[in-house]
Chain A
Amino acid sequence: MLNVFQQADHPVLPRASHDEASRQNFAKGLRGFIQREVLPGLTPLFAKTAAESKSLGVDLASRHDVRKAMKTEPYFQSYAALNRTAQELLWLSVVDTIERDWPRLAAEVKAREGQGGELRIPSAFNVPRYVTALDIHCMPGGYAAQSDAEQFAAGALYERGVYLYGMGYGGPFNDGKGRSVVNYIRRTMPDFVPARVLDMGCTVGHSTLPYKEFFPEAEVWGIDVAEPLVRYAHARSVALGETVNFAQMNAERTEFDDGSFDLVVSHILLHETSGKAMPRIFDECFRLLRPGGVMIHCDLPPFDLMDPFTQFILDNETYYNNEPFWGAMREMDQVALARKAGFDPETIRFDTAPMVIREYAGAEAKGYDAAKADELADREFKAGEYAPGGGWEVLIARKS
């Protein structure tokens, strides 16, 4: 399949020059090529490596055993090095655009101040160390980069960079995860109409906006620990015509009152927190929900049902893409955490929220047509690919 998905333009999207667009497309296409043409070679390589180990009496029983054996294999080295380099090219190709497009971007962000929903930035804030210790997924400067006085550059970088990282599979507005969860709620809980919704770790509001679209009467909040992200999220939501509120807050302990939300969600947040923070986030979700309220975390599936090779492939992000909690998070017992936080044990479960790629078939942005959507939706997911075939893993719990 030729992937020609194009991100939908809006006033605060960094606008690439001809050559910058080519560089960005090179990075996006390279990611696609690696996962389509290079990644599949790891399966027979592992079969060979495992057989050789076995003949020496060594069983590759854990993902760590597999890594130790595989990382000396030249084919694996090439795969991992290509992946890492593609990631670096991706971010740098967007940094160039943001710097060149800065005067226009800064004016567009500024013009949206005071419009739309509320934007709450405290005068003092401690960004947790698990977000600042490494630049997560090798995004230069990280989420809370202080490099610009205007404090939105990291948001602009994330907006474009993550679209390229996801190769457009999240749709022209990169809102696939939010839409998946919203659809899941509508299908499994048709009578549930939340009046107040909180999206934790919202970054630039990609996943937050669909909640406002599907529950237009709801008061929707997105929170994140990084000022540049929520500042950009606010400008982006105004540019896209949605009234959503954003605030710089820590999901471990927000400033909202007890029982003030009907629905608390997160999308790919938990794996970027820590072993200490995760239980606190579950406790905070419980505190924030009113009785009958629902918590949904959309993140990575736990390791316990996967074979060591699959775990090893997925765990590459931990070692090679600055994702320190990626592997460890998958070993956390999330059901136990939810139970400990106080959620009704009968309601705690993992489920799959199907991908919504078909919904983009009629999108105005280029590349999204019905045939491609079907092809993507029906394909099987291989470990190490970005796009899951089936859907997103969700953990659900209700407060009784």
Chain B
Amino acid sequence: MTDHPELPRTVRGKRPEFFTTEGVDEVLSMVLVLAQELHVVRERLDTAERVMTRHGINLAAEIEALQPDEALLREREQALQDFYGRLFQFSRQRRSELEHKYSDRAYHETLDKVATGDI
């Protein structure tokens, strides 16, 4: 039970497609929502720095001054490489398909084989 009504989040009326390639409109919308959220996080961090300053901690300067030791460098590099992996998941999958010669035809052949009891 919430203490507020559920307000509409969709709009009466068909949304136009702007791009000829299907799905691009959807991706653009998602990218902008992510950009909006990135802006929110940056602004929140900025606010946090300013609040800390009021309490005598110069967070921004300490962030600049932090010298990572080798262990931290390794930890961060690993995190970065993992992030690339997630970011480029799509090309990771595509490369695997090229290497293993996965294709739509092979996929459908598998469907047929499974259905007809060949495998």
Contact = CB atoms under 8 A, between A and B. Distances in A.
Contacts of B3: 102-103
A18 B51 CA distance: 13
Given A18-B47, A19-B40, A26-B36, A140 B5 contact: no
A26 B19 contact: no
Given A81-B25, A81-B28, A84-B18, A135 B11 contact: yes
A1 interface: no
Contacts of A23: 36-37, 39-40
Contacts of B118: none
Contacts of B12: 132-135, 142, 322
B13 A89 contact: no
Nearest to A322: B13
B29 interface: yes
A188 interface: no
B71 interface: no
A68 to B, nearest CB: 14
A61 B25 CA distance: 30
A22 B9 CA distance: 19
Given A84-B16, A100-B4, A138 B39 contact: no
A226 interface: no
Given A19-B44, A89-B36, A138 B16 contact: no
A98 interface: yes
Contacts of B36: 23, 26-27, 89, 93
A164 interface: no
Contacts of B15: 84
A95 B47 contact: no
B46 to A, nearest CB: 10
A141 interface: yes
B87 to A, nearest CB: 22
Nearest to A132: B12
B40 to A, nearest CB: 4
A287 B52 CA distance: 65
B11 A26 contact: no
Nearest to B5: A148
A18 B5 contact: no
Interface string B39-53: 110011001000000
A157 interface: yes
A93 B40 CA distance: 12
Contact of A99 (B7, B25, B28): B7
A134 B13 CA distance: 5
A253 to B, nearest CB: 25
Contacts of B43: 18, 22
Contacts of A85: 28-29, 32
Q: How large is the interface on B (under 10, 10 to 19, 20 to 34, 35 or more residues)?
A: 20 to 34
Question: Which of A77, A82, A145, A147 has the largest number of chain B CB atoms within 10 A?
Answer: A77
A102 B3 CA distance: 7
Given A18-B44, A81-B28, A84-B15, A149 B5 contact: yes
A251 interface: no
B18 A138 contact: no
A159 to B, nearest CB: 14
B79 interface: no
Contact of A77 (B4, B18, B29, B32): B18
A256 interface: no
A255 to B, nearest CB: 28
Interface string A102-120: 1100000000000000000
B36 to A, nearest CB: 5
Question: Which of B28, B36, B43 has the largest number of chain A CB atoms within 10 A?
Answer: B36
Nearest to B2: A99
B4 A103 contact: yes
B96 interface: no
A153 interface: yes
Interface in A118-148: 132-135, 138-142, 145, 147-148
Given A88-B11, A102-B3, A140-B7, 14 more contacts: A23-B37, A26-B35, A26-B39, A74-B19, A81-B18, A81-B28, A84-B18, A99-B7, A102-B5, A103-B4, A133-B12, A135-B12, A140-B8, A145-B7
Interface of B: 2-13, 15-16, 18-20, 25, 28-29, 32-33, 35-37, 39-40, 43-44, 47
12 contacts: A30-B32, A81-B19, A99-B5, A99-B6, A100-B4, A102-B3, A103-B3, A133-B12, A140-B8, A140-B9, A145-B7, A147-B7
